[in-house]
Amino acid sequence: MIRKQVYLTEHQEHALKRRAAETGLSEAELVRRALDAILAAPTPAAPRPGRTAALERLRATWASSRSQLVDPFRTNP
């Protein structure tokens, strides 16, 4: 095993100690299991700055041209 050092908040420290006492598992084992659970989950897509701007431009274009597209098909003026 590889030794790692992590910083915990006081709340995390107390919660970890409490869970270790409740389960009979070591704090290290609980941390390893939590890390395994996070690493097993699918990785969320990284934000792509250009994509957000492109989607906003598309939304604005649709909003501005929507009345032009819809008006010719309206039956009630």
pLDDT in tens, 54-73: 888 888 887 777 666 655 55
Is the residue at 57 inside a domain? yes
In this prediction, residue 69 carries a pLDDT of 60
Is the residue at 33 inside a domain? yes
Is the residue at 5 inside a domain? no
Query: Exposed/middle/buried for 25, CB within 10 Å: 0-12, 13-18, 19+?
Result: middle
In this prediction, residue 66 carries a pLDDT of 61
Is the residue at 17 inside a domain? yes
The range of the structural domain enclosing residue 33 comes to 10-41+49-73
Is the residue at 31 inside a domain? yes
pLDDT in tens, 24-50: 999 999 999 999 999 998 887 776 777
Is the residue at 4 inside a domain? no
C-alpha dihedral, 40 to 44 to 45 to 48, nearest 10°: -140
Q: Does position 77 have pLDDT exceeding 60, yes or no?
A: no
Is the residue at 1 inside a domain? no
CB–CB of 34/8 below 8 Å? no
Q: How many distinct structural domains can be found in the chain?
A: 1
Q: What phi and psi values does residue 22 have, to the nearest 5 degrees?
A: -65, -40
Report which residue type is found at 22. E
Average pLDDT, the chain: 84
In this prediction, residue 68 carries a pLDDT of 61
Is the residue at 3 inside a domain? no
